[in-house]
Amino acid sequence: MAYWRTTALQFFKFGIVGVVGFVVDTGLLYFAIHALEFGRIAAGMFSFPFAVTVTWIGNRLFTFSDAPPMPAMKQLAKFAFVCGIGIVFNRGTYSLLVTFVPFVYDYPVIGLLAGTGVAMFFNFFATRKHVFGG
């Protein structure tokens, strides 16, 4: 029972950190679209590394603060690798939606939210096991 309680608490914390990452991701996505005049797909790729970095910091300090110690750059590299796999789910969903659903093209935050939701479970379990040693 303790395993499931710990997992549920970590998943909840992961979600909180994810919300912060989503805000950063969304802000930079719209910045790239409007200020830098990137296309929807390029803007989504531009904002992704910033969101990864913010969520790694949040997960290191908050979600998995009791994880075995690891040098920060090594852990960030492992986290980025896992997120690099998760990008297939995340930005894949986003890209399909902004390409084929006109409403989502007009409001790309909806595609970003859908992609984030699709990738969330993979990212949680993969980072828990392969990055933070859970």
Range of the domain at 9: 2-130
- Output the pLDDT for position 73: 96
Q: Which two tokens stand for residue 100?
A: 């084929």
Give the residue among 72, 76, 115 at the shortest CA–CA distance from 94: 115
Identify the residue whose tokens are 């399909």. 96
Count of beta carbons in the 10 Å neighbourhood of residue 80? 15
Q: What is the torsion angle, in degrees rounded to the nearest 10, for the CA atoms of residue 59, residue 60, residue 64 and residue 69?
A: 160
Q: What does the pLDDT average to over 63-87?
A: 95
Q: How many domains does the chain have?
A: 1
Q: Is the dihedral of CA 104, 20, 123, 7 positive or negative?
A: negative
How much is the CA Rg of the chain, to the nearest whole Å?
15
| CA angle (121, 131, 87) in 5-degree steps | 45
pLDDT per position as a tens digit, 88-128:
999 999 999 999 999 999 999 999 999 999 999 999 999 99
The reported pTM is 0.91
Mean pLDDT of 34-40: 98
Phi-psi region of 133 (alpha: psi -120 to 50; beta: other; left: phi over 0): left
Contacts with 101 (C-beta within 8 Å, 6 or more apart), sequence order? 111
Query: Does residue 134 carry a pLDDT above 80?
Result: no
Q: In which residue are the tokens 């690099």 written?
A: 84
